[in-house]
Structure 1
Amino acid sequence: MYITCLYIPPGHVADCGVPEARRGQGGREMKRKITKKKITVLTVLLVISIILGYAILELASFPGKITTSEYNVTTEGVKSTFHEGVIYRYPGMVPLLSVSGDHYEMGLQYGVLLRPEVMNALESYEKILRRKAKEEGIPYPILTAVLKYKAKKLSKSLPDRFLEEIKGFSKGSGVPEDAIITISLFYDVSMATGCTGLLMRCENGTIIHARNNDWFEGEELGKLTVVVRYNATGYNSVTHIDYPLWMGVETGYNDKGLAFSEETYGVKEPNPNGFSIVYLARIALEECSTLGEVYRLFGRYSAIGGYGTVWSDRDEGRGAVVELTPTAWAVKEMEGSVLWNFNHIYDPELRKQQRAKTNIDSWNWDREEIASAFPRKSEYEIKDAVEFLRAQKAPDGTDYSWCGTKRPICNDCGLQMMVFDPNGDGFYLATGPSYAACRNIYHVHGDFSRPPELFRGAVPIKPAVEEAARIRNMLVSREEKLQAYVDLAQKYKDDANAYFLVAYHSFQQSRWDLFADYAEKAYSMKPFVTEYKLFAGIAAYQQKEPDRAIKLLESIEFSELHPWQEIYRLRMLEKTWASRNPEISDQYNAQKQAILDRYDAHLYYEKEISPLFEELDTGGKEK
Structure 2
Amino acid sequence: MNVVKEIWVILSLVVLGSVLISAQPGTRLPKSYIVDLDLPPEQRWQKVVLDYKDMVSDVHKILITYIPEEILPYVELIATDLDNYIAQPYAGEMRGIASVMNISLGDVVMANLIYDVSAFCTSIVSQDINGQIWHSRNLDYSFTDILKNITVAIDFQHGGQTVYSIITYAGYVGVLSGQRHNAFTITVDERDQGALIWNLIIGILDSNTIPVSFLVRDTLSLDTNFTSAIDRLSYTTTAADVYFIVGGVKPGEGAVISKGRFAPDDTWMLSAKDGRWFLVETNYDHWLPPPPSDNRRDPAISAMKSLGQKNITVENLFNVMSTPKVLNSRTTYTVIMSAVKPLVMKCWIRE
For the aligned pair, the TM-score class normalised by the smaller chain equals: 0.7 to 0.9
Deviations 1:208-227 (A, max 9, x none): 11100010111322222112
CA contact (8 A) 1:257 1:289 kept: yes
Partner of 2:188: 262
**Which position in structure 1 is the counterpart of 2:21?**
none
1:284 maps to what in 2?
A: 219
In the TM superposition, 1:434-473 aligns within 5 A as 436=350, 439=351
Matches within 5 A, 1:34-73: none
Greater mean deviation of Cα atoms: 117-126 or 315-324: 315-324
CA distance in 1, matches of 2:78, 2:319: 39
Q: Alignment partner of 1:416: what SS?
A: strand
Alpha-carbon distance in structure 2 between the residues aligned to 1:144 and 1:157: 15
Check whether the contact 2:236–2:263 (CA below 8 A) recurs between aligned residues.
no
2:301 is the alignment partner of 1:414: no
Query: Which aligned pairs between 1:586-597 and structure 2 lie closer than 5 A?
Result: none
Could you report, residue by residue, the CA deviation over 1:121-151 in whole angstroms, capped at 9, with x for unpaired residues?
1123213434x47xx7x6xxx7755544467
1:146-191 Cα offsets, whole Å, 9 max, x none, are: 5444677887454333323334445555554433333233323xx1
What is the match of residue 11 of structure 2?
Answer: none
Cα contact 1:157–1:275 (8 A) shared by 2: no
Which position in structure 1 is the counterpart of 2:152? Answer: 226
Does the CA contact (< 8 Å) of 1:95 and 1:226 recur in 2?
Answer: yes
Cα distance in 2, alignment partners of residues 177 and 324 from structure 1: 30
- The 5 Å alignment of 1:132-531 reads 132=66, 145=73, 147-149=75-77, 156-170=84-98, 174-188=102-116, 191-232=117-158, 237-268=163-194, 271=199, 272-273=202-203, 274-298=209-233, 300-314=235-249, 318-329=253-264, 330-335=266-271, 336-346=276-286, 361-364=291-294, 366-374=295-303, 375=306, 377-379=308-310, 380-392=312-324, 408-421=325-338, 423-431=341-349, 436=350, 439=351
Show the 5 A alignment for 1:595-610.
none
**CA deviation string 1:92-143 (max 9, x = no partner):** 64321102243525x414214531303321123213434x47xx7x6xxx77
Q: What are the Cα deviations for residues 548-600 of structure 1, in whole angstroms up to 9, with x where unaligned?
A: xxxxxxxxxxxxxxxxxxxxxxxxxxxxxxxxxxxxxxxxxxxxxxxxxxxxx
Q: 1:152 to 1:367 in 2, by over 3 A?
A: farther
Residues 155, 181 of structure 1: 8 Å contact kept: no
SS at 2:321's partner residue? helix
Give the match for residue 45 of structure 2. Answer: 110
Maintained 8 Å contact 2:30/2:151:
yes
SS of 2:215's equivalent in the other structure is helix
Aligned length: 306
Partner of residue 206, structure 2: none
2:286, 2:81 → 1: CA distance?
31
The whole-number CA distance in structure 2 between the counterparts of 1:198 and 1:147 is 34
Contact 2:131 2:250 in 1 (8 A): no
Q: Secondary structure at the match of 1:198?
A: strand
Q: Counterpart of 1:98?
A: 34
1:408-452 deviation digits (Å, cap 9, x = unpaired):
111111111111156221522221xxxx2xx5xxxxxxxxxxxxx
Query: TM-score, length-normalised on structure 1?
Result: 0.45
Secondary structure of 1:102 counterpart? coil
Contact 1:265–1:308 (CA under 8 A) maintained in structure 2: yes
| Amino-acid identity (%) | 13
CA positional deviation for 1:267: 0.8
1:238: Cα distance to partner?
2.1
The aligned amino acid for 1:423 is K
TM-score normalised by structure 2 residue count: 0.76
Contact 1:167 1:177 in 2 (8 A): yes
1:299 CA displacement:
5.5
Larger % of strand: which?
2
Distance of aligned partners of 1:219 and 1:165 in 2 relative to their CA distance in 1, 3 Å threshold: closer
**Any idea what SS the aligned residue of 1:292 has?**
helix
Residues 199 and 152 of structure 1: CA distance in aligned 2, closer, same or farther (over 3 Å): farther
- AA aligned to 1:280 is L
Work out whether residues 29 and 348 of structure 2, in 8 Å CA contact, stay in contact via their aligned partners in 1. Answer: no
Tell me which residue corresponds to 1:36. Answer: none
CA–CA distance in structure 2, aligned partners of residues 326 and 275 of structure 1: 10
Structure with greater Cα Rg: 1
Q: Quickly say closer, same or farther: Cα 1:238–1:176, change in 2 above 3 A.
A: farther
Give 1:241 deviation, angstroms. Answer: 0.9
Residue 298 of structure 1 aligns to a residue whose secondary structure is helix
How far apart are residue 298 of structure 1 and its match?
3.5
Q: Does the aligned pair in 2 maintain the 1:249–1:282 contact within 8 Å?
A: yes
- In 1, the alpha carbon distance for the partners of 2:161 and 2:221 equals 5
The aligned runs of 1:537-548 (5 Å cut-off) are none
**Take 1:129 and 1:161, find their aligned partners in 2: how far apart are those partners?**
23
| Structure 1 match to 2:24 | none
Q: Give per-residue Cα distances to partners, 1:310-360, cap 9 Å, x unaligned.
A: 11113566111111112431311111321110100135xxx7xxxxxxx88
Structure 1 stretches of 5 or more lacking a match? 1-91, 352-358, 393-407, 440-623
Q: Is the alpha carbon distance of 1:113 and 1:332 closer, same or farther for their aligned partners in structure 2, counting shifts above 3 Å? A: closer
Correspondence list, 1:9-88, <5 A: none
Q: Distance in 2 between matches of 1:152 and 1:418?
A: 36
Q: Distance in 2 between matches of 1:235 and 1:149?
A: 37
Name the CA distance, whole Å, in 1 between partners of 2:136 and 2:291: 24
Q: What stretches of structure 2 of length at least 5 have no aligned partner?
A: 1-27, 204-208
Cα 1:345/1:236, change in 2 over 3 Å: farther
Q: Is the 8 A contact 1:214 1:414 kept in 2?
A: yes
1:320, 1:334 within 8 Å by CA — same for their partners in 2? yes
Aligned amino acid, residue 338 of structure 1: F
Partner of 1:9: none
CA contact (8 A) 1:197 1:211 kept: yes
Distance of 2:60 and 2:31 partners within structure 1:
18
Which residue of 1 is the match for residue 10 of structure 2?
none
CA distance in 2 between partners of 1:213 and 1:275 (Å): 22
Q: Partners in 2 of 1:206 and 1:157 — Cα distance?
A: 40
